Amino acid sequence: MTERKFTPPTSFPAIYVDGLGNKITLVGRGKGTGPLIGQDSGGNWRSYTEKGELYSGGMSTEANDLLDTPKTHKVVGYVNVYDDGATAFHYKRYQADTNVGKSRIARKRIEFEVREGEFDD
């Protein structure tokens, strides 16, 4: 099994993702081999071990094992756009308006969220 980060829940409901990126909501703890009871975003019920492994009667389920939900970070800033297609990002509006080239054609406020570990091509 590959290294993965799983912190057992201390309260319910608890939100996790599986190895395929699907959201899993753990709703409670029972008894037995797969005591953590959860539901995926499609409404399917699943049982997990205390280590966050999908209980499957001994079959390999690594892709379905639980991972801590990655933290998200909000990014807000301003982009100066120039007539040649060049851009320049600034965290503050006054920075975008102060650091202006002569060929600026627009300033655009942008806002987006990124998850830790998320990298675009």
Secondary structure (3-state) at 62:
helix
Q: What is the pLDDT of residues 11-31, one digit of tens each?
A: 999 999 888 888 999 999 988
Q: What local confidence, expressed as pLDDT, does residue 92 receive?
A: 97
Please answer whether residues 93 and 47 qualify as being in contact, where contact means their C-beta atoms are separated by less than 8 angstroms.
no
The set of residues, in sequence order, having a beta carbon less than 8 Å from that of 64 and lying 6+ positions away, is 18, 19, 20, 46, 54, 56
Which pLDDT tens digit goes with each residue over 62-91?
A: 888 898 887 889 999 999 999 999 999 999
Half-sphere exposure of residue 7, counting CA atoms within 13 Å on the CB side? 7
SS3 annotation, 22-35: CEEEEEEECCCCCC
Distance CA 106, CA 111 (A): 16
| Residue found under tokens 């499609």 | 42
Q: What is the mean pLDDT of the chain?
A: 88
DSSP 95: H
**Total-model pTM:** 0.57
Average pLDDT of the residues in 30-47? 90
| The pLDDT value given to residue 20 | 85
Given CA atoms 76, 16, 5, 1 in this order, what sign does their dihedral have?
Answer: negative
